Structure 1
């Protein structure tokens, strides 16, 4: 509605100005040409007011819907109004630099093919043209098992055996679903991709499919080899991908348990876009497998972050000790290797919260302010900083205690 009012007001103002110029030409040819210039138009209005008045009234009527339309627009979309008034729409659009340097020439299904997206994930190389859910055109090559190094593959039409599978798909304007073709042999493929820090591959790409597929592609290719994106040397936490979420969780666990010995298990697939995620993740921390509830939020300007994450960076002493070889430790501290470690010595609630992984699965007893006693094996600290104790009952059942540190008046470690 606001757009119609603004457009209608502008049309009335324009019609009034055109009528004013026509009235000036009816006065005299000289006044007509002069009224095309704004200063002389004002002079004509002052000198010939009776003739100019109807046209000015028409333009004045156009101001009313124009003001009403701008007011309505400002009430529900102030940013759009600001962009209109600032005339930013007149400036030429600046194209953002491409993330990937893709220089491929050729066609797919007989049409020019210029992919904007390229990645190699879990052995599947995909080139996509178009940003919609279904790509306008897409090339997918399912490669055999590859490692983290270079990717070098050469296939000739006469080759047999376990070869990469090539799939092409395209979506025509009159189609609702894309059409696809697959080929497992009888094509020519050359890949020579070298690693480029931090997470890319770049090199030569050459593909020729049989004539009936009308598909040839050749040139230089650069692609991502995981779902992470970088800003400089830092991971871009605002990018939506499973790899980004996994990176955030892995970093959080390292800082929470103050150790680099963290092996995060796969978290599965996620349906983006999302603003928050609740997961039960499995991770092997210092050799012990733990189940941890994790809540993630996507914050504006900061990207994905674990809720209530206030843990500091991993101390440099921990990093150095993790990198040190076991033989060096044995040579430096032989008495600590041969003497059994009793963790009950100097055990405290503060030490437990500071290094929970050190006491994982050990038997403990806690006494609360209300005089209740909870005994069980320590299972870690949840995201609300509650201490988890799990006790196995007679038979197959078990009971779990979750205690806030401020509720505990005494806690004991019952085994070394």
Structure 2
């Protein structure tokens, strides 16, 4: 809405100025050419006010939606307005320096391969070229053992023992999905990677696949070991990754509960990129399990942050906090207890709230009664594509029962845990 108001106001102002120039040419050829220069345009308006006033009225009318649109934009996205008014968008875009120093020579599927993205996460080494949803060319090596520290691996076609699975894929111009080839032995591989703080591995890489795969690579690689990215020595919160979200949430919990003893459990799957997220996170804080609803928002300048985060940074390890009066200390303890108390979501739970924010109640135990008199109890798994409520109940042994309920047939729903 704000963009439409701003655009409409600018178009009205432009139409008024064009009309003013046309009126000036109607007065005289000399006045017409003079009106193209702003100082002389003002002179024309003063000398021929009766002919220019209608065009000026149209310009003034355009300022109304322009000002309203700018006010709306400032109310919900002040940083974007500042970027527009500062004219930073007029500056030429500078090409960002590569995050990784990858120097590989060779080919993949008979074509030159120049990867610019690389990582080794959860035992999977990935080198890819292209930043689309599907990489134009990609190499995956699934290592059989977990990675701790550096990596040293030498394999020849006749060697025994567990072999990493190698997968190459490529995307042709006329194809929508990439083609892939996999092999589990019969190739040559040399890896010698050493840790590079804060979150990289660097070293030698040599790979030769059998001739029919037309893939040979040799050189130096640099790989990320997680989804964090750093800028000026600090974590870049603008990066969309689960590791960035985990870092932001863990930092928030440490400051909220005034302790560094925070062990965050794995986050639920989320859709990235996004502008805002609602999560229910689990963590052990000072040894106590906690389950907390967290709402994250992302802005262009500061990146991801927890909404409502106003807690102060923790004191540096080893520093001594200044002594305070007993009354202040007791008040601080009471405040800390109030903050540490987990939110009981059963108090305001309703079917409408569940449908509006399903992620807030993910994996919580519920009981549902239907209009037919049936009762279903289980853990909430989300809302499917047809808008049905999904509950899953674990049976004896390893069996599970799944319930799919339409909201219109629910007569009563209860949340069984906070």
How does the TM-score come out when normalised to structure 1? 0.58
Q: CA deviation at 1:350?
A: 4.5
Q: CA deviation at 1:223?
A: 1.1
Deviation by residue 1:344-370 (Cα, 9 ceiling, x = unmatched): xx996652322568xx7xxxxxxxxxx
Within 5 A, what are the aligned runs for 1:183-332?
183-316=183-316, 319-320=317-318
User: What is the alpha-carbon distance in structure 2 between the residues aligned to residue 96 and residue 275 of structure 1?
Assistant: 23
Deviation by residue 1:47-83 (Cα, 9 ceiling, x = unmatched): xxxxxxxxxxxxxxxxxxxxxxxx9xxx99x97xx89
User: What is the alpha-carbon distance in structure 2 between the residues aligned to residue 160 and residue 213 of structure 1?
Assistant: 22
User: What is the alpha-carbon distance in structure 2 between the residues aligned to residue 226 and residue 189 of structure 1?
Assistant: 23
State how many pairs are aligned. Answer: 264
1:351 aligns with 2:333: yes
Gaps of 5+ in 2: 1-61, 70-82, 321-327, 349-376, 378-413
User: What is the alpha-carbon distance in structure 1 between the residues aligned to residue 302 and residue 132 of structure 2?
Assistant: 26
- The residue aligned with 2:136 is 136
**Contact 1:292–1:382 (CA<8 Å) still a contact in 2?**
no
1:124 aligns with 2:124: yes
Deviation by residue 1:98-118 (Cα, 9 ceiling, x = unmatched): 111000000000000001110
- The residue aligned with 1:104 is 104
Question: 102-111 or 139-148, which moves further after superposition?
Answer: 139-148
1:169 aligns with 2:169: yes
Find the residue that maps to 1:95 and give its secondary structure. coil
**Contact 2:268–2:279 (CA<8 Å) still a contact in 1?**
no
Q: CA deviation at 1:273?
A: 1.2
Q: CA deviation at 1:313?
A: 1.1
**Contact 1:167–1:181 (CA<8 Å) still a contact in 2?**
yes
Q: CA deviation at 1:156?
A: 1.1
Q: CA deviation at 1:321?
A: 9.1
Find the residue that maps to 1:380 and give its secondary structure. coil
Within 5 A, what are the aligned runs for 1:384-399?
none
Q: Kindly tell me: are residues 253 and 207 of structure 1, through their superposed partners in 2, closer, same or farther at Cα, counting changes over 3 Å?
A: same
User: What is the alpha-carbon distance in structure 1 between the residues aligned to residue 226 and residue 344 of structure 2?
Assistant: 30
Find the residue that maps to 1:252 and give its secondary structure. helix
Deviation by residue 1:306-359 (Cα, 9 ceiling, x = unmatched): 01001111134xx3399xxxxxxxxxxxxxxxxxxxxxxx996652322568xx
Q: Kindly tell me: are residues 119 and 106 of structure 1, through their superposed partners in 2, closer, same or farther at Cα, counting changes over 3 Å?
A: same
How does the TM-score come out when normalised to structure 2? 0.58
Q: CA deviation at 1:146?
A: 2.7
User: What is the alpha-carbon distance in structure 2 between the residues aligned to residue 133 and residue 308 of structure 1?
Assistant: 33
Question: What's the Cα RMSD here?
Answer: 3.4
Which 4+ stretches in 1 moved above 6 angstroms? Answer: 396-401
Q: CA deviation at 1:250?
A: 0.4
User: What is the alpha-carbon distance in structure 2 between the residues aligned to residue 399 and residue 122 of structure 1?
Assistant: 36
Q: CA deviation at 1:380?
A: 2.9
Find the residue that maps to 2:255 and give its secondary structure. helix
**Contact 1:103–1:220 (CA<8 Å) still a contact in 2?**
yes
- The residue aligned with 1:95 is 95
User: What is the alpha-carbon distance in structure 1 between the residues aligned to residue 216 and residue 303 of structure 2?
Assistant: 40
Gaps of 5+ in 1: 1-70, 323-345, 361-378, 387-395, 402-416
Find the residue that maps to 2:318 and give its secondary structure. helix
- The residue aligned with 2:27 is none
Q: CA deviation at 1:208?
A: 0.3
Find the residue that maps to 1:249 and give its secondary structure. helix
User: What is the alpha-carbon distance in structure 1 between the residues aligned to residue 315 and residue 344 of structure 2?
Assistant: 22
Q: Kindly tell me: are residues 206 and 289 of structure 1, through their superposed partners in 2, closer, same or farther at Cα, counting changes over 3 Å?
A: same
User: What is the alpha-carbon distance in structure 2 between the residues aligned to residue 235 and residue 354 of structure 1?
Assistant: 28
Question: 266-275 or 188-197, which moves further after superposition?
Answer: 266-275
Q: CA deviation at 1:271?
A: 1.6
**Contact 1:149–1:195 (CA<8 Å) still a contact in 2?**
yes
Find the residue that maps to 1:320 and give its secondary structure. coil
Residue number among 342, 352, 373 corresponding to 1:380 in the alignment: 342
**Contact 2:283–2:289 (CA<8 Å) still a contact in 1?**
yes
Deviation by residue 1:288-313 (Cα, 9 ceiling, x = unmatched): 11101000000230000001001111
Q: Kindly tell me: are residues 99 and 398 of structure 1, through their superposed partners in 2, closer, same or farther at Cα, counting changes over 3 Å?
A: closer
